[in-house]
Structure 1
Amino acid sequence: MLVKLAILSHMHHPIAEPFEGGTEAHTAMLANALVERGHEVTLFAKEGSVTKAITHQLVPKDFEFIRTATPWVRVQQAGFLAEAVHHSIGVIQASNFDAVINSSLSALPFSFMPSLPMMTILHTPPTLSDVNAVISDPDWIPSHRHEYVTVSTTNAEAWRAFLPRVEVVRNGIHIDQWTPGIEATPGLAVWAARITPEKGLHLAIDAVRAAGLDFEFAGPRSHADYFQSEIVPRLGPRVRYRGHLAHRDLRSFFASGAVFVASPLWAEPFGLTVVEALASGTPVAALPNGAMRELIGPLAGAVATQTSVVALADAIRAALECDSGEVRRSAMRFSFETMIGRYEEILARVAATPMSRSGRWCAPIHKANVGTKPVGTARQSGVDAAQEGAR
C-alpha cells in the first residue's frame, strides 16, 4: 500500500486560493484528497502554497515570472526556477518516497529521476520546448518506472507522438460543491479563466455582445498588456469584470449565468471551469478548440462550428435552449472519486515496478541553493517564457 508520496508542482504560482488556473486548482485538490485517503504527501511548491500536504516551499512568494521582460531576464528567471526543480529532485532522491507525482511542467524529471517510480500528469499540449527537446532526443530512453497520464483524449493523442504510452484520466470535481441553489440571471453570460490572449476573452466579449446578452467575467489578469489593450476598451455597463474569484465565490458566479462561455484560442487540454459550470447547471457555449467537444455534450451546450465571433454567438444562442437539469447530469461523467481512484491505481503500479539494470541511469543531481544566482540550467527549465500562458 502506498504511504509516502511526493508531488512536484510547477513553481510559477503558489498552490493556493484564489488559484491562478486549472493546474494549480488540480494540484491542490489532488494533494488534499490523497492526504484525506491516508497517504503521507509532501508538496514541492512555491512559497505561499496552502494544502493539507506537508509543504516544501522553494521559490519565494514575491518571485514573479515576467513574460514581457527582456530575453536575458527571462533566461535568468527560467534558470532560477530550474534550480528550484533541481533542489526538489535532490530532496526527493534523498528521501524514501513510494512514488512521485510530477506536475512540474519541467524537463528535468524526464531525465534525472529514472530510478524513481513516477507518474507525470501532462497538463499542457506538447508545446513545452524544453520538454520536447528531451523526449525527442534519439538518445533519450523513457524509464520503465515512469507512467504518463493526461486529462483528455485530445491531449493524449497529441502527446503519443512523443511518448510511448499516455493514459487518459479526466479531471474530476466534487459535483455536490457546485449546487449553490440560486437562480440564473436571464440574459447574463459568464466567463472565467486566466486573462491571457490564448484564452480568447476579447472574442468572447464580442460574441456575447453579438448575441445581445450582458457579460460578466472573472480571473487573474495574467497578461497586463493584453488586459489593458484588448479588454479595458471593451468594458462598459453591459460588460463587467468581477475580479479574481476564489472557488467559493465561483460557485454562485457560475450558477448566476444563463450561459457560460469558453473561448480558447489554443489547444485547451481540458477546462475545469467548463465542467464546474456544467455541474452548476449552466450550459456552455465554446469555441471548437482542444478538448471542448469532449466536455460538452449535445444536451449540455453548444460548440461553435469555427473560431469566429459569429460562430460563437450562434453557439451562445443555442446553448441558452438547454435544460439545466440535463446540463448538470452531463457533469456526472467527471467524478472526483473516479479520478483519484485511477491515480491511486497508476501510482500503485509504478511503485510495484522493480528497478532494472537495462534502463538508462543518469548521474545523481546536486542539491542547488535556489537562493543564489542560477548557473547553467536555463535551457532545462521545462517552462519557457512562451509557455507561461499555457496553464
Structure 2
Amino acid sequence: MILDTRPAGDPLRIAVLAHLHHAIVPPFAGGMESHTAHLVGGLTDRGHQVTLFAKTGSEATCRVESVLARSYIVEGYPESDGRNRQHLMLDGAMAQATGRIRAGRFDVVLNNSLSPIPHRELAAIPTLHVLHTPVLPRLAGIFGTPGWTPDPMHRHVTVSHANARAWRRWLPEIDVVHNGIALETWHSDAESIPGTAAWTGRITPEKGTHLAIAAARAANMKLRIAGPVQDRDYFTALIEPELDADITYLGHLDQRDLSTMVATAQVFISSPLWEEPFGLTTLEAIACGTPVAALPSGAMTEIITADSGVLATGHDAEALARAVILAKDLERTKVRDSARTFSLDSMIDAYEGHLRSVAPVPHRALGRYS
C-alpha cells in the first residue's frame, strides 16, 4: 500500500475498537491493551478526535464508550459450550459497538480487536484492521469463504513480518507496523543485580513461563517473575510449585515497578512457545538496557539483534539456558540503543499515515455516517 505522505491535514474522527477481554487500564492485562492505550493516546495528542469503544472501566485521554460490563470475566480456555456462550456475549458487545459506529460521525475505524464482527459489520466503511495474532479460526472462516475478497474500503496491517506470513494467504497486501513504546519511560537509575534474571508477561502456557524457570535454574540464575495470571490451572500446576528463594513471583506490577524490576536484572528471559506475533515485554527489556535471551519464535528475530540479545539454538530449556549465559554480559548501552528503532512516535506516524490513506477527505462523508 502507498501511504499518504501529504502534510498533515484536518483532524480525523477515528473510532477505535478495543479487544473486549480486558479493560484498557494500567497495569495492562497484556500487550494488546498496552498497544491500544498508547495508540489512542498518541492519536489524540496529535489532534484527532478519537472515540474508544471498550470494556467498562477503560481509561483514556479520548472519549470512551463502554460496550461490555467490566464484571464480565473472559475465560482463557473454556470448554466448548462455555466458549460458545462467551463468543455470543463478546460478539453481541462488539455488534453493539459497530452499530454505534455506523450510526455515528466518523471518518475512519481502527479495529484493534480480535473479533470477526467488524469484518462483517463494517462493510463499505473505511476501516483499518490491525491483526495482532497468528491466524485465528473465526477470522480464517471469514477470509476462507469461497469467493471472499477484501472489502475495497478496508485495509489490513499486522505487527511483524513473521506474523504477516500466514495472513498473506488471504491478505497478500497486508502491511507491517512494528509495535512501539515510549522509550523514555523504560529505564531505572538502579544498578543491575548480577545473577538475577527477569521474566514478564501474561502467565499462560504459550508464553512458556515454566520453561523460563527451568532455563534460569540451569544457568544458575535467580528469576523474578511478574505479570497477570491468565491461566490459573497452569500457574497452580507448573509455576507455583517452583517458587522458592531463587524463583519469585512478584504479582502484576504497575509500569514503574515493572521497569525497575526489568532494569535491575542482569538478563531478561523471553520464552514464547508459540509464534510470538511481536513481544512487547522483550522490547521493554531492551529499552531498559537489559540483554535478552529468547527462544527463536515468531518475531523474536525481528526485535533482537546481536547487540541486544541472544537467540537460543533450540526450543528447550537447555538451549535457552545457554542463551542466558551468553546474553547476560552484553554491553547494556548497546542493548538500550537497539530499542530506538521501535519508538512510539514511529509507530504513531505509521498508523496515522495508514488511517489517512484509508479515510476519505475528512468531513466530506458526514451525511453518510450521520
Amino acid at match of 1:80: M
What is the CA distance between 1:51 and its match in structure 2?
1.0
Out of 257, 267, 287, the position equivalent to 1:259 is 267
What's the CA shift string for 1:225-271, capped at 9, x where partnerless?
00000001111110000100111221111101000000000000001
Question: Does residue 190 of structure 1 match 2:233?
Answer: no
Given that 1:277 and 1:283 are in contact with CA atoms closer than 8 Å, whether structure 2 keeps it comes out as yes
C-alpha distance in 2, partners of 1:181/1:333?
Answer: 22
Give the gaps of 5 or more residues in structure 2. Answer: 1-9, 363-370
Give the gaps of 5 or more residues in structure 1. Answer: 355-391
Aligned residue for 1:85?
A: 94
Aligned residue for 2:123?
A: 114
Aligned residue for 2:343?
A: 335
Out of 98, 107, 112, the position equivalent to 1:98 is 107
What is the CA distance between 1:212 and its match in structure 2?
0.3
Given that 2:224 and 2:247 are in contact with CA atoms closer than 8 Å, whether structure 1 keeps it comes out as yes
C-alpha distance in 2, partners of 1:188/1:207?
Answer: 12
Aligned residue for 2:160?
A: 152
What is the CA distance between 1:61 and its match in structure 2?
0.8
Question: Does residue 18 of structure 1 match 2:27?
Answer: yes
Aligned residue for 1:73?
A: 82
Aligned residue for 2:288?
A: 280
Amino acid at match of 1:238: D
What is the CA distance between 1:221 and its match in structure 2?
0.6
C-alpha distance in 2, partners of 1:246/1:171?
Answer: 20
Out of 185, 192, 214, the position equivalent to 1:177 is 185
Question: Does residue 37 of structure 1 match 2:82?
Answer: no
Q: Tell me the TM-score normalized by structure 1.
A: 0.88
**Relative contact order (alpha carbons < 8 A, sep ≥ 6): 1 or 2 greater?**
1
What is the CA distance between 1:39 and its match in structure 2?
0.9
Given that 1:67 and 1:74 are in contact with CA atoms closer than 8 Å, whether structure 2 keeps it comes out as no
Secondary structure in 1 aligned to 2:359? helix
C-alpha distance in 2, partners of 1:91/1:336?
Answer: 29
C-alpha distance in 2, partners of 1:75/1:352?
Answer: 37
For 1:165-314, list aligned pairs within 5 A.
Answer: 165-314=173-322
Between 179-188 and 211-220, report the one with greater CA deviation. Answer: 179-188
Identity %: 44
Amino acid at match of 1:18: P
Amino acid at match of 2:66: Q
C-alpha distance in 2, partners of 1:253/1:201?
Answer: 17
Given that 1:117 and 1:353 are in contact with CA atoms closer than 8 Å, whether structure 2 keeps it comes out as no
C-alpha distance in 2, partners of 1:42/1:227?
Answer: 36
Question: Does residue 60 of structure 1 match 2:69?
Answer: yes
Given that 2:160 and 2:299 are in contact with CA atoms closer than 8 Å, whether structure 1 keeps it comes out as yes
Q: How many residues are paired up?
A: 353
Secondary structure in 1 aligned to 2:193? coil
What is the CA distance between 1:3 and its match in structure 2?
2.4
What is the CA distance between 1:178 and its match in structure 2?
1.2
C-alpha distance in 2, partners of 1:314/1:87?
Answer: 50
C-alpha distance in 2, partners of 1:139/1:8?
Answer: 27
